[in-house]
């Protein structure tokens, strides 16, 4: 019965997306107070969590008076409550906005929003937001045609051209001019991050349900440039919405339009603007300071009636000569002039992702003191405090608890405040007994099963998810049954069913594909693949690509499945069609030993610098495919000869640890690819030397690096050669050499790879050739790098300057150490300078200073509390800058008892 109801919901929503909407819908009078309308809707939801009508009336009232400055905020806030909003303490396990709580509510909201879209031409961005909401609902129920229609109507950009990283550090790069001239044809590439990435090419990136992954071109941080061309059929006002969680700046037609500061929020933040554009092709470019703080951006562009425009991902040589005469950012809220507008202002800011600014609204002169706040004001205070993450957790819980208590004093049945109070009680008690404090707050007792009737649907979901997390399956089941009885067939029930009940085989496929959970997720696909049903799995992938509008979706999974089922040629065809940054070298292992090994070697050489699993997939593929020479056999043969010679005539017979041979070879390419080999053969004598016999030393690499031990063996005194189990491990470490004894020889071969770090630089410190109690018979370090590559090089005085020569565009330097007895290690010498080795790298103190500047810039904040604290600290006196700094530093020292020694260090910056 439950699944039949869910299928009915899906059919009804799809029909609502394509059928004619109801002829008569409530429309608010033109004089409606939108702040009061929204507050009334908020109060209605607090006692009836499935109440949709008040929010729909708020939307219709806003659209009926498009000249009201609060019209767009009202549409945004009401849509958020209906379609997107999540209660903080309920988490992300299930969707629980209002449309997910009721089958009837879902149908009504879909029909009314569609009808509202038809009459929203006077509010262009509001119309786009309505289409975005309908797109979200179509994705949820899997309505492919409706999803495509509303995605297009929302003005969502389906594909862009992306280049990067173009500069590092990313925040500082935003302050410099755009690398792309406003009206010039698009170049094939742009200057990249020196010295290794001299050029950064442009690549086409498809949106996935309107979200564009700027990380598709490279896994490294740094400035990204996102470009899209817009066909504007006539001179008119265009409206732009740009969403990202990273700092960014957006230009249209060569004019600066939007600036998204890093301090706005840790959440995706919607920035709005408009331009007066002339007819023709118009270029929109966004510079994104990507620093692993969110991969996705979204861009919406609509005309003066809220209709979508045709957009293109430009190719090299494409130009967009149209200009704009005016570019105006749009504030998500107007100035608050009445107290009744405060809840709407906070809700609109939260809906658009401006969490810090939303929290700051309670410092507004019209904002009430906490003791005098109304229910809507305190509810919005709770949401803003949670979303902003602006204060320490202990202070946050205290403020939220006080606000929830005030709400419950005025409204004992307000479910959101009850959930907040229960969650705080849980947090204060901790993981052990906190769940029982939660149940006590909600009135859940083991002695009675009547408690589900006293809880709202959202409270039941809250109780069920909490009980599941605590392993109390009986309570979770009772809460689930109560919710299913109260809101049969709702999407929230389907999500909770999936979260609580694990299934296998056909039952899992049925629940994942037809159980009412999101049809835009990969659950159904993975359920099919879990049963090795390749045909059904591939069919589900194709459906998801069409539904979400992304031709590149799940291509990596498709390659894996095709390889697993022996369809290698099809997998390789998809592999070659992917952009370089999305390819995985690991799949090329299927070609090893076959007739296609040569083609795999060519692919490996082509993709090894930019593949998403580089350099971690290099070993052992690079050697097995013949990309690089395997030197281990020659080193082993030489080592066996040295052992024989040393047994006949020992080198320094009384030495504690005698290194018979050590070879280190480092090869650095112009593209920043480092390949190194480390070989050593040593004889150990004393107990301490046996204990440390496995310490071969590996290079310290500041970059993306990987290494692999190719050989580690023991030559015993009686002539045996032991090859330890490479998988042996123990609490003390190096247990694979547990059979090592005094007088034995240890041989090891290690190889490794490295690529530049996030900032595009590479720094290497080689291991110590002469650690304590060690003598060296023959040691050599060889370093090869391009002649023109700018880098710093340091060598220990015992090694000297080495011998340098140029060979085929490579500069080769060798350092040798022969017949070296143990050295005296002085205390007080820095660790890196005390080791007998070399250091080389491309990083500089100038770059580290820039990185520190970026770190300072990332700490920039616009907080009313801090402004008030600074004003109080300075006292309004006319002081010199030095005295102001001294007073602030002294006050900070009193206010903060413990500082963070890492936050502004060179290590944190680089």
The per-residue pLDDT for range 499-523, each reduced to its tens digit, is 999 999 999 999 999 999 999 999 9
Can you give the pLDDT at residue 306?
A: 96
In which order are the strands placed within the sheet that holds 792-795? 700-702, 763-765, 838-841, 792-795
Task: Please indicate, yes or no, whether residues 702 and 806 belong to a single structural domain of this protein.
Answer: yes
Share the mean pLDDT of the chain.
Answer: 89
Same domain, 869 and 837: no
Are 810 and 682 contained in the same domain?
Answer: yes
Q: Count how many residues are written for the chain.
A: 910
Q: Residue 219's CB: how many other CB atoms inside 10 A?
A: 17
Domain boundary among 272, 287, 322: 322
Instruction: Output the pLDDT for position 27.
Output: 52
> What pLDDT, on a 0 to 100 scale, did the predictor assign at position 762?
95
**pLDDT of res. 488:** 93
75 and 219, same domain (yes or no): no
Of 273, 296, 322, the position where a domain reaches its end is: 322
- Same-domain check for residues 173 and 120: no
Average pLDDT over residues 746-770: 92
**Given a cut of 70, is residue 13 above it in pLDDT?**
no
- Strand blocks (E) in 145-268: 159-163, 189-191, 199-206, 212-213, 222-232, 236-244, 247-252, 255-260
DSSP, collapsed to helix, strand or coil, labels residue 497 as: helix
What are the distances in angstroms from CA 718 to CA 714, 741, 749?
11, 12, 23
- Dihedral sign for Cα 293, 299, 300, 304, please: positive
Structure tokens at 895: 């206010």
Verify that 763 and 884 share a domain, yes or no. no
Does a structural domain hold residue 245? Answer: yes
DSSP state of 163: E
Distance of CA 306 to the CA centre of its chain: 31
Q: What is the pLDDT of residue 252?
A: 96
Confidence (pLDDT) at 5: 45
Domain that holds residue 767: 632-841
Q: Which pLDDT belongs to residue 2?
A: 47
Q: How confident is the model at residue 20 (pLDDT cuts 50, 70, 90)?
A: very low
What six digits make up the tokens of 684? 């150990």
Write the DSSP assignment of 824-890 as a string of letters: PPPTTS-HHHHSSSEEEES--HHHHHHHHHHHHHHT----HHHHHHHHHHHTT----HHHHHHHHHH
Q: What is the pLDDT of residue 22?
A: 42
- What percent of the chain lies above the pLDDT cut of 90? 66
Strand 269-277, strand 222-232: pairing: unpaired
pLDDT value at position 16? Answer: 45
**Across residues 827-845, what is the average pLDDT?**
84
* Contact between 778 and 818 (Cβ < 8 Å): yes
**Together in a domain, 819 and 671:** yes
By mean pLDDT, which of 530-539, 693-702, 774-783 is the weakest?
A: 693-702
Contact of 760 with 220, CB cutoff 8 Å: yes
CA distance 225 to 162: 6
Span 882-904, pLDDT tens digits: 988 888 888 888 877 776 766 66
Residue 311 has pLDDT above 80, yes or no: yes
* Domain annotation covers residue 884: yes
| Residue 24 maps to a domain | no
**What HEC string does 769-830 produce?**
CCCCCEEEEEEEEEEEEECCCCCEEEECCCCCCCEEEEECCEEEEEEEEEEECCCCCCCCCC
Q: What is the model's pTM?
A: 0.90
Cβ 379 vs Cβ 290: under 8 Å: no
Tokens of 584: 């995985």
283-297, 722-736, 861-875: the lowest-pLDDT one: 722-736
Task: Tell me, yes or no, whether 856 lies in a domain.
Answer: no
- Paired sense of beta strands 296-302 and 212-213, if any: antiparallel
Task: Inform me whether the pLDDT recorded for 115 exceeds 70.
Answer: yes
Helices (H), 249-374: 342-351, 355-360
What is the count of structural domains for the chain?
A: 4
Q: Determine the pLDDT at residue 695.
A: 59
CATH of residue 106's domain is: 1.25.40
Q: Which comes out higher in pLDDT, residue 592 or 689?
A: 592
**Which of 38-47, 303-312, 435-444, 723-732 shows the lowest mean pLDDT across its residues?**
723-732
Per-residue pLDDT band for 292 (boundaries 50, 70, 90) equals confident
Cα separation, 154 vs 138, in Å, equals 13
Together in a domain, 742 and 670: yes
pLDDT tens for residues 139-178? Answer: 999 999 999 999 999 999 999 999 989 999 999 999 999 9
Give the per-residue pLDDT at 902: 66
CATH number for the domain that contains residue 193: 2.60.120
In a domain? residue 658: yes
Instruction: Answer whether 352's CB lies under 8 Å from 76's CB.
Output: yes
Return the CATH number at 731.
Answer: 2.60.40.3140
Q: Is 21 a member of any domain?
A: no
pLDDT, tens digit, for every residue of 569-617? 999 999 999 988 889 999 998 887 777 888 999 999 999 999 999 999 9
Instruction: With CA atoms as reference, report the closest residue to 849 among 172, 185, 26, 322.
Output: 172
Residue 7 belongs to a domain: no
Query: Each residue of 23-44: pLDDT tens digit?
Result: 344 454 555 789 999 999 999 9
Residues 732-755 have a mean pLDDT of: 81
| 726: CB partners within 8 A, 6+ apart | 709, 712, 736
HSE-up of 60 (CA within 13 Å, CB side)?
Answer: 20
Over residues 435-484, the pLDDT tens digits come to 999 999 999 988 788 899 999 999 999 999 999 999 999 999 999 999 99
Least confident of 221-235, 363-377, 550-564, 720-734: 720-734
pLDDT value of position 401: 94
Instruction: Give the residue from 841, 871, 896 where a domain finishes.
Output: 841
d(CA 324, CA 253): 6
Residues 362, 293: one domain? no
Are 130 and 169 in the same domain?
A: no
Name which of 150-159, 521-530, 619-628 the model is least confident about.
619-628
Q: Is the dihedral of CA 53, 56, 58, 64 positive or negative?
A: negative
Rounded Cα distance between 325 and 253, Å, is 9
Across-strand partners of 213? Answer: 296
Residues 662 and 807 in one domain: yes
pLDDT given at position 530: 93
Looking at the domain assignment, is residue 99 inside a domain? yes
The span from the CA of 529 to the CA of 532, in Å, is 5
Q: Are residues 765 and 709 in the same domain?
A: yes
pLDDT average, residue stretch 861-874: 80
Task: Please give the pLDDT value at position 322.
Answer: 94
């Amino acid at each position: 019965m439950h699944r039949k109801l869910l299928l009915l919901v899906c059919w009804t929503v799809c029909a609502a997306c394509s059928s004619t909407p109801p002829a008569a819908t409530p429309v608010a009078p033109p004089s409606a107070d939108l702040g009061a309308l929204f507050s009334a809707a908020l109060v209605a939801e607090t006692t009836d969590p499935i109440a949709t009508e008040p929010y729909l009336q708020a939307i219709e009232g806003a659209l009926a008076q498009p000249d009201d400055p609060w019209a767009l905020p009202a549409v945004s806030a009401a849509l958020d409550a209906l379609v997107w909003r999540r209660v903080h303490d309920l988490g992300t396990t299930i969707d629980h906005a209002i449309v997910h709580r009721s089958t009837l509510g879902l149908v009504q909201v879909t029909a009314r929003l569609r009808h509202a879209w038809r009459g929203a031409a006077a509010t262009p961005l509001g119309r786009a937001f309505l289409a975005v909401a309908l797109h979200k609902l179509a994705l949820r129920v899997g309505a492919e045609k409706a999803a495509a229609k509303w995605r297009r109507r929302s003005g969502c950009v389906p594909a862009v051209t992306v280049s990067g990283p173009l500069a590092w550090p990313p925040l500082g790069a935003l302050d410099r001019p755009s690398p792309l001239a406003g009206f010039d044809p698009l170049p094939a590439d742009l200057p990249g991050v020196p010295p290794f990435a001299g050029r950064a090419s442009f690549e086409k990136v498809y949106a996935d349900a309107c979200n564009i992954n700027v990380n598709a071109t490279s896994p490294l941080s740094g400035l990204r440039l996102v470009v899209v061309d817009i066909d504007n059929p006539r001179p008119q006002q265009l409206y732009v919405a740009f969403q990202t969680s990273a700092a960014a700046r957006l230009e249209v037609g060569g004019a600066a339009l939007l600036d998204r500061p890093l301090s706005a929020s840790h959440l995706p933040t919607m920035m709005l603007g408009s331009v007066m554009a002339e007819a023709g092709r118009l270029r929109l470019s966004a510079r994104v300071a990507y620093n692993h703080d969110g991969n996705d951006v979204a861009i919406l562009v609509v005309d003066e009636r809220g209709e979508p425009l045709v957009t293109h991902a430009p190719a090299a040589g494409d130009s967009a000569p149209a200009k704009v005469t005016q570019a105006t950012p749009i504030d998500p809220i107007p100035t608050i002039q009445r107290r009744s507008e405060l809840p709407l202002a906070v809700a609109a800011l939260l809906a658009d992702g401006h969490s810090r600014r939303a929290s700051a609204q309670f410092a507004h002169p019209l904002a009430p003191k906490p003791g005098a706040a109304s229910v809507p004001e305190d509810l919005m205070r709770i949401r803003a405090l949670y979303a902003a993450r602006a204060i320490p957790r202990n202070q946050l819980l205290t403020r939220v608890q006080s606000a929830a208590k005030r709400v419950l004093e005025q409204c004992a049945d307000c479910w959101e405040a009850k959930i907040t109070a229960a969650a705080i009680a849980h947090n204060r008690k901790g993981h052990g007994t906190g769940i029982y404090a939660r149940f006590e707050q909600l009135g859940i007792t083991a002695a009675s099963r009547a408690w589900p009737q006293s809880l709202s649907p959202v409270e039941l979901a809250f109780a069920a998810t909490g009980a599941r997390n605590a392993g109390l399956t009986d309570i979770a089941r009772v809460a689930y049954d109560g919710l299913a009885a109260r809101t049969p067939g709702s999407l929230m029930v389907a999500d909770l069913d999936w979260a609580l009940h694990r299934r296998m085989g056909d039952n899992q496929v049925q629940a994942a594909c037809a159980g009412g959970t999101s049809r835009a997720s990969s659950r159904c696909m993975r359920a099919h693949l879990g049963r090795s049903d390749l045909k059904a799995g591939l069919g589900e992938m194709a459906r998801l690509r069409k539904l979400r509008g992304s031709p590149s979706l799940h291509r990596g999974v498709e390659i894996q499945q095709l390889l697993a089922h022996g369809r290698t040629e099809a997998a390789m065809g998809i592999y070659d069609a992917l952009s370089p940054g999305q390819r995985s070298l690991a799949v090329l292992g299927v070609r090893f030993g076959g007739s296609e090994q040569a083609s795999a070697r060519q692919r490996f050489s082509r993709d090894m610098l930019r593949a998403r699993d580089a350099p971690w997939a290099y070993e052992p593929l690079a050697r097995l495919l013949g990309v690089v020479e395997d030197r281990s056999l020659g080193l082993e043969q030489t080592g066996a000869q040295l052992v024989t010679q040393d047994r006949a005539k020992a080198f320094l017979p009384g030495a504690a640890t005698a290194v018979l041979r050590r070879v280190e070879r480092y090869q650095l390419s112009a593209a920043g690819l480092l390949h190194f080999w480390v070989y050593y053969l040593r004889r150990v004598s004393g107990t301490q030397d046996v204990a440390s016999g496995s310490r071969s030393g590996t290079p310290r690499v500041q970059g993306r690096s990987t290494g692999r031990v190719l050989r580690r063996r023991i030559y015993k005194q009686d002539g045996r050669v032991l090859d330890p189990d490479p998988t042996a491990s123990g609490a003390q470490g190096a247990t694979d050499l547990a059979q090592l004894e005094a007088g034995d020889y240890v041989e090891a071969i290690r190889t490794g790879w490295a690529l530049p770090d996030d900032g595009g630089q590479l720094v290497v410190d080689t291991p110590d050739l002469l650690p304590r109690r060690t003598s060296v018979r023959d040691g050599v370090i060889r370093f090869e790098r391009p002649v023109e590559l700018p880098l710093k090089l340091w060598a220990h005085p015992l090694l000297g300057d080495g011998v340098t020569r140029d060979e085929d565009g490579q500069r080769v330097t060798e350092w040798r150490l022969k017949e070296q007895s143990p050295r005296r290690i002085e205390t007080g010498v820095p660790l890196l300078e005390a080791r007998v080795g070399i250091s080389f790298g491309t990083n500089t103190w100038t770059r580290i200073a820039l990185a520190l500047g970026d770190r300072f810039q990332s700490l920039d904040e616009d907080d009313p509390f801090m402004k008030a604290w600074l004003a109080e600290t300075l006292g309004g006196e006319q002081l010199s800058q030095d005295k102001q700094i001294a007073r602030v530093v002294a006050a900070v020292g009193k206010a903060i008892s413990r500082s963070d020694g890492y936050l502004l260090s060179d290590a944190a910056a680089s």
